[in-house]
Amino acid sequence: MVGGGPPHEVRLLASIKAKKGCMHTCSSEHIHLWGPMSKKPTSREVFLGTRMESLGGRPSFLKVQMCLHLLLETFQNGRNPERRYLMESHELALNGQVALVTGASSGLGRATALALAQAGADVALLARSADDLQKVITALTSHGRRALAFAGDLAHEDDIVNAVAQAIETFGRIDILVNAAGIDAPGAVVQLATSEWDYVVDVNLRAPFLLAKAVFPHMSQARRGTIINISSVAGKRGWANASAYCASKFGLTGFTQALAAEGKAYGIRACIIYPGGMATHWGVWSSTQRAVSQLEPPPVTKALPPAEVASLIVWMAAAPAELVLNEVIISPLEEEGWP
């Protein structure tokens, strides 16, 4: 337990495993890191719940300790204006890599695209709003990164297939896939239209499947790749009037675990993040409504800044290839109803 620090709580349920062929392997036991944090934790303040086995006869915790330090640093620096985000101290960690981010026109998707670019990656964007995508493209290219935008509906398979094909044609590769797009159709089960249920599942679950299916052959040929699926705390516990959303997010967990099992033989990592409430415009498509909400951002104790979650995503993508941060739960300190 580490006390004090920023007014939001970082709750991580992380399972770090070393891939076959590296110096160490870890058991499937979990690492529990409970925050918030105000200072760099000592080795005694971090509870490491994994069992390490040396494959090379030289037992050492160095690499895992390094990765845990970077992970903790993401949040330790969250309120420090001089070192706001993880990648500011690890710039260009993704230099030469290409990322595809969905839902990249706003919210977490936009923050993730910007963070990946800051870390050195070229970025392909996929979302519905062409106008909003162009604004993100302008921000990315102003930092010297190559960027490509595709305006399309993730419920349409052709839009997904074409976006991946054009990204490969333009950049020659895709190293990182971040499935950040998500929608909801609120309503009681007895009132929810079948078409609404289908659309939520299409965007939240079927689209990550189609995207992973499209990039997998390219990643397997390169013998490396990272796929990060953005779920929600609704993927850990269901609640009333959100049946389609919760079902799609629970399904995303199973899909991610299956994908990870299939991908590890090819050097492909599949990870999932369960964010709590974030300060985004999620579900708001009107530019007028977005402008109003920007004037009154929620307190950080109630909603996570997207850029902080994006920093964690960058760390997951930039972590040593033999390590996998399988899953993370992160929520604001005063989020209601969780856990």
Active site residues: 245
Enter the DSSP assignment of 42. Answer: P
CB 112 within 8 A of CB 103: no
User: If DSSP codes are grouped into helix, strand and coil, which group holds residue 142?
Assistant: coil
Q: Give the helix, strand, coil percentages of the chain, each rounded to 5.
A: 40, 20, 40
Closest CA to 211 of 201, 199, 203: 203
CB 37 within 8 A of CB 75: yes
DSSP H helical ranges for the chain: 62-76, 107-118, 130-141, 157-171, 194-201, 207-222, 243-263, 287-295, 306-318
The residues, ordered by sequence, that sit 6+ positions from 28 with a Cβ below 8 Å of its Cβ are 15, 17
Q: Which tokens go with 49?
A: 């719940």
118 to 126, 176, 332: CA distances (angstroms): 19, 14, 25
Q: How many residues does the chain have?
A: 339
